[in-house]
Amino acid sequence: MFDFFGYVSALPYMLGLAVIGWLISLPRRNVDVVDSLWSLMFLVAIFVYAGFPAETVRGRLLFVLVAIWALRLSIFITARNWGHEEDRRYQAIRARNQPNFALSSVYRVFAFQAVLAWVISMPLHGAVGSDTPLGVLDYLGLALWIIGFLFEAGGDWQLSRFKRNPANAGQVMDRGFWRYTRHPNYFGDCAQWWGFYLIAVAGGAWWSVLGPVLMTVLLLRVSGVALLEKDIGERRPAYAEYIRRTNAFIPGPRKN
């Protein structure tokens, strides 16, 4: 059963984390910190939904999986962005909303992402209260999560290592996970959330499908694949060939 008030209870805490991020961004004149906080918002959500320690086996399983995913992603993004200028996505938003972007970013960027995270967290809320024994769907969800985690973490690590090598400057990363999909990190992120959903369905929360659907749309059409590949083929001819030969999202064999 959907407990609306239990679900809403996480939103103030997620918004509170967003406000902290906004305050950090003001002296830095850089809202990139929201990317580091994005995954941590889900950790806040599962903490509110499940409590600590979680009362059910399914709740404890989800708490561990969300914590691993959230902490790794936050640490990785923080390390990647450290010392760099503001991401061009946010530079464009800043340019469109001057003057007073410093103030309006609290809702244009930070609160907006907190609300998105809250909606996406629906499967976490739906699953943690179920005390039924773990079953086939739980283990399928766990298997899908593991596959997704390997693609996301492995893809991030491979790309970071590739970029650190000066000999690869101007080259296209098409090795390892990147040989089978142009965005193994996004595919992995998506797979993990569908894994969470399968665990939620095992707990009776089939209605929480909006969460993984919204995450998939964001990764494919909004801030992920579509945004990163906008006009990249024109700017980088070698990438155009990579696009021709390699699946955009779901891993598969390379085309001749």
| CB atoms near residue 116 (< 10 Å) | 18
Question: What average pLDDT score do residues 110-127 get?
Answer: 97
Of 98, 71, 236, residue with least CA distance to 170: 236
- The residue written with tokens 């600590």 in the block is 52
The ranges assigned to domains in the chain are: 1-131, 134-256
Q: Is the pLDDT of residue 146 over 90?
A: yes
CB 125 within 8 A of CB 214: no
Q: What was the pLDDT predicted at 39? A: 98
Q: How confident is the model at residue 1 (pLDDT cuts 50, 70, 90)?
A: low
Contacts of 134 (CB under 8 A, 6+ apart): 57, 58, 61, 202
- Measured between alpha carbons, how far is residue 71 from residues 4, 36, 68 in Å? 27, 9, 6
pTM of the model: 0.93
Token duo for residue 39: 């995954």
For every residue of 112-130, DSSP letters joined together read HHHHHHHHHTHHHHHHHT-
pLDDT digits (tens, 9 = 90+) for 5-49: 999 999 999 999 999 999 999 999 999 999 999 999 999 999 999
